[in-house]
Chains A and B, each alone.
Chain A
């Protein structure tokens, strides 16, 4: 396999980066306080943990609304359209090629940040797991108003089950997600990109179907 030339590319806008790290902090605090409320370990004290969890949870809900606005107004939503094209190659790469030092079969581009595997995972996350977690959390928070909202047929057992299951799923995602940041051409390349916006990527052609839009990176 021939060594490809590296080019530096502006991948993530300021808002995108801000959103990513804000969400990281929010989810980190939510996991910590959430598992404390769940009774897994003592940390802030039950009542403090509940207060923090509620405040941060509601913050996340509002912040997520801004993210949705951004995703749809900028056309970034196209980055999340799932595809099976090259899926096999990506799976093969991560389970085999990566150990042989092969190049990534789907190099990142501004207009195609996500490889097919990422598209699938991030879509499930943004369109399913996180909304479910936020909705169940919001209902949990509003427990005392269930009667007024006309949803007192719901039971806290069910809701707690969903919310806890969601927390485990998010925790599992984070483990893999954090690990995957080390799979760039250097161990910190991906993390650096999410901080500065710029990433060193191997030169290559992006196929037309991969492109999210025609927007140019903001300087």
Chain B
């Protein structure tokens, strides 16, 4: 008897101690992580990236301003190119094979040529009409709108001048005997030489000259690329911010034989999610390249998301955070005139929301992305593909599904359009816009569509109407500082979840079984009611008993 009493007296405190120990142990990670944040130690993903991008000072062994070849009296663009090629003998051949020059991505087995120089269609200016819509060629890396010779300085020139105008003016004044005009000629010659000699590796303004202004103006197309990224602060882009890492575009968009890494529109998808530490030249750049696939602190739930959710989905809460971007473009409204003349109106951002030559447009700032499963490939409808005009045509749309191991939930800007299609052939049409036959001059759809599709080499029946379309841009720039990431409950919430449109899987906080929930709460209320009635009955009847 005595023995067993001592035994149980000891058992109880021991068990208590064990339980306490266990509790402390389980609570420990949370406690430690709290102190971690106070001392601002870095998440492993940041440390990895710091290592991958440790300042790699690239040195230069040539001062281009001292090269004899660049001190000539240049009279035309092609002469400048010739000078470049005297040393860089293979550069033009390499460049001619890249998509930057051909504007053609690839040709599929059905003979469809993908790329803006081919059969591809978008819902902005629709088609480059096989390079015959000269308005598009401002961005082609040749001289002016000519496509014969590469203008190396588009990408490698630090000083941007209007080459066509400069050469024309020089031509006009160079032969003059008038000392004033001679002076002007010397000044132009000096400007040209200075621009030719200011050779650099591509800087932000070089890439941005086209990519910030895709679609013919600042921020028209991408939403995550506009002139605000020429000199961004860290709040706009943690990588490019001049008060932070200050990355050039080329820090991530690495190059092999003038092929720039990072194109995400077409096949194939990035299957190699490998580290830049292993290989600085992966063909497609992913965040994992530097940050690893488990970038957050080891006890962070966020690490459990990286197999299904792209980094961008949380780390880019909104795009177009400084400059507005175009969200929709209704071509069917084009052609209205005031007093017989084309006109335009401006919106709150000072952007054109109506233009007779373009139609109705909508701009927006601080836009929340839309989210889709995305495996790195985007399907697109070309001018040759049949469409169903009864539905919204997805001119471009991300590929991938929840069952695709390579697919992640990825943020997109969706640009909504309304654009012409052929009512008989059931294809999207590529109107000619610029030039004397273009819609912008004539406001005549039939003529513009006839000329445009002729340039594309695709038949046009002569009967057209407008169809609603969507076009997507993956959002991957404008990565926000970690304080501004998308909070858990912006997706894990019943109402207005960012991922409300993604179906086919159960997401805690967003999803419920309404029947179970209703039944459950009815049951809970029933029990409450039951005990209430029981309790009240006891109160009344017990009173009666005492009276007995």
Residues of chain A at the chain B interface (Cβ within 8 Å): 13-15, 18, 22, 37-39, 42, 45-47, 50-51, 55, 58-59, 62-63, 66, 70, 98-101, 143-144, 155-157, 160-161, 164-165, 167-168, 171-172, 175-176, 179, 182-183, 215-216, 218-219
Complex CA gap A133/B512 in Å reads: 17
Contacts of A15 in B (CB 8 A): 11-12, 15-16
- Contact (Cβ within 8 A) A164 B15: no
**Does B27 touch A at the CB level, under 8 Å?**
yes
Contact with A along B485-515 (1 / 0, CB 8 A): 0011100111000000000011011111100
* Shortest CB distance B360–A (Å): 39
Give the interface residue-count category, chain B.
35 or more
B residues within 8 A CB of A59?
22-23, 26-27
A39 to B1 alpha-carbon distance, docked (Å): 54
How distant is B337 from chain A, measured CB to nearest CB, in Å?
53
6 contacts between A and B (CB under 8 A): A46-B492, A59-B22, A157-B505, A160-B513, A161-B513, A164-B520
B58 interfacial by beta-carbon distance below 8 Å: no
Cα of A108 to Cα of B468 in the assembled complex, Å: 76
Give the complex CA separation of A170 and B307 in angstroms: 34
Among B494, B508, B531, B537, contact of A99 (Cβ-Cβ < 8 Å): B537
CB neighbours of A168 from chain B (8 A): 516, 519-521, 523-524
Q: Which residues of A contact B510 (CB under 8 A)?
A: 39
Q: Does B9 contact A (CB under 8 A)?
A: yes
A39 and B16 within 8 A (CB): no
Residue numbers of B with Cβ under 8 A of A are: 1, 4-5, 8-9, 11-12, 15-16, 18-19, 22-23, 26-27, 29-30, 301, 304, 307, 487-489, 492-494, 505-506, 508-513, 516-517, 519-521, 523-524, 527-528, 530-531, 534-535, 537-538, 541-542, 545
Residue numbers in A under 8 Å from B513 (CB-CB): 160-161, 164
* A155 touching B506, Cβ below 8 Å: yes
A63 to B301: give the CA distance in the assembly, Å.
Answer: 24
- Contacting pair B512 A39 (CB below 8 A): yes
Asked if B508 and A51 make an inter-chain contact with CB atoms under 8 angstroms apart, the answer reads: no
The answer to whether A46 and B489 touch (CB under 8 A), given A144-B304, A156-B505, A172-B523, is yes
Known: A62-B26, A179-B535. A13 touches B19 (CB 8 A): no
Residue of B nearest to A51 (CB): B30
- Contact partners of A143 in chain B: CB under 8 A: 304
Contact B9 A38 (CB under 8 A): no
Which residue from chain A places its CB closest to the CB of B537 in the assembled complex?
A99
Q: Is the CB of A219 within 8 A of B531?
A: no
Residue pair A176, B537 in contact (C-beta under 8 Å): no
Whether the Cβ atoms of A66 and B30 lie closer than 8 Å is no
Closest B residue to A62 by beta carbon equals: B22
Query: With A47-B301, A155-B506 as given contacts, are A172 and B538 in contact (CB-CB < 8 Å)?
Result: no
Of chain B, the residue at the smallest CB distance from A144 is B304
CB pair A47–B487 under 8 Å, yes or no, is yes
A31 to chain B, nearest CB (A): 11
Assess whether A175 is in contact with B1, with CB atoms less than 8 Å apart.
Answer: no
Q: For A98, what are the chain B residues with a Cβ–Cβ distance below 8 Å? A: 538
Do A39 and B492 contact each other (CB < 8 Å), given the known contacts A143-B304, A156-B506, A161-B513?
yes
Say whether A161 contacts B516, CB under 8 Å.
yes
Bound-complex Cα distance A155 to B402 (A): 13
Q: Which of B12, B489, B531 contacts A176 (CB 8 A)?
A: B531
The residues of A that contact B545 with a CB separation of less than 8 Å are 100-101
Report the minimal beta-carbon distance from A65 to chain B, rounded to whole angstroms: 9
B527 touches A99 (CB 8 A): no
- B493 touching A39, Cβ below 8 Å: yes
* Other A-B pairs beyond A143-B304, A172-B523, A182-B535, 9, CB < 8 Å: A14-B16, A37-B508, A47-B301, A47-B487, A70-B15, A99-B538, A156-B505, A175-B531, A179-B534
By a CB distance below 8 angstroms, the chain B residues around A176 are 527, 530-531
Provide the residues of chain A in CB contact with B8, threshold 8 Å. 13, 218
- Residue of chain A at shortest CB distance from B530: A176
Chain A residues with CB under 8 A of B541: 99-101
Q: Which B-chain residue is minimally distant from A36 (CB atoms)?
A: B509
CA distance A108 to B225 in the complex (A): 76
The answer to whether A39 touches B524, judged by C-beta atoms less than 8 angstroms apart, is no
Assembly CA distance A63 to B516 (angstroms): 29
B524: contacting residue among A18, A62, A155, A172, CB under 8 A: A172
Complex CA–CA separation, A51 to B4 (angstroms): 42
Please give, as numbers and ranges, the residues of chain A lying within 8 Å of B530 by CB-CB distance: 176
With A39-B494, A46-B493, A98-B538 given, is the CB distance from A157 to B18 under 8 Å?
no
The docked-state distance in angstroms from the alpha carbon of A55 to that of B523 is 28
Measured CA separation A155–B538 after assembly (Å) = 47
A39-B510, A168-B524, A176-B531 given; A46·B16 CB < 8 A: no
> Which of A39, A167, A179, A182 makes the CB contact (< 8 A) with B509?
A39
Indicate which residue in B494, B506, B512, B531 contacts A179 across the interface (CB closer than 8 Å). B531
Q: Are B16 and A218 in contact (CB under 8 A)?
A: no
**Chain A: minimal CB distance from B251 (Å):** 32
**C-alpha gap A13/B511 in the complex (Å):** 43
Among A46, A98, A156, A164, the most chain B Cβ lie within 10 Å of the Cβ of A46
Q: Which of A13, A62, A175 contacts B527 (CB under 8 A)? A: A175
Residue with the highest number of chain A CB atoms closer than 10 Å, among B30, B506, B508, B523: B508
| Nearest CB in chain A: distance from B124 CB, A | 38
Is B542 touching A101 in the complex (CB atoms < 8 A)? Answer: yes
**Chain A neighbourhood of B505, CB < 8 A:** 156-157
Contact of A218 among B9, B493, B508 (CB under 8 A): B9
With contact pairs A39-B494, A50-B301, A160-B506 given, residues A58 and B26 touching in the complex (Cβ less than 8 Å): yes
Q: How far is the CA of A164 from the CA of B523 in the complex (A)?
A: 13
Q: Which of A46, A55, A62 contacts B27 (CB 8 A)?
A: A55
- Given A14-B12, A15-B15, A144-B307, verify A38-B508 contact (CB < 8 Å): yes
- Residues of chain B within 8 A of A161, CB atoms compared: 513, 516
A193 to B480, CA, bound (A): 57
Which residue of B4, B487, B509, B531 contacts A38 across the interface (Cβ within 8 Å)?
B509
Q: From residue B521, how far is it (CB to closest CB) to chain A in Å?
A: 8
Alpha-carbon distance between A210 and B26 when the two chains are bound, in angstroms: 39
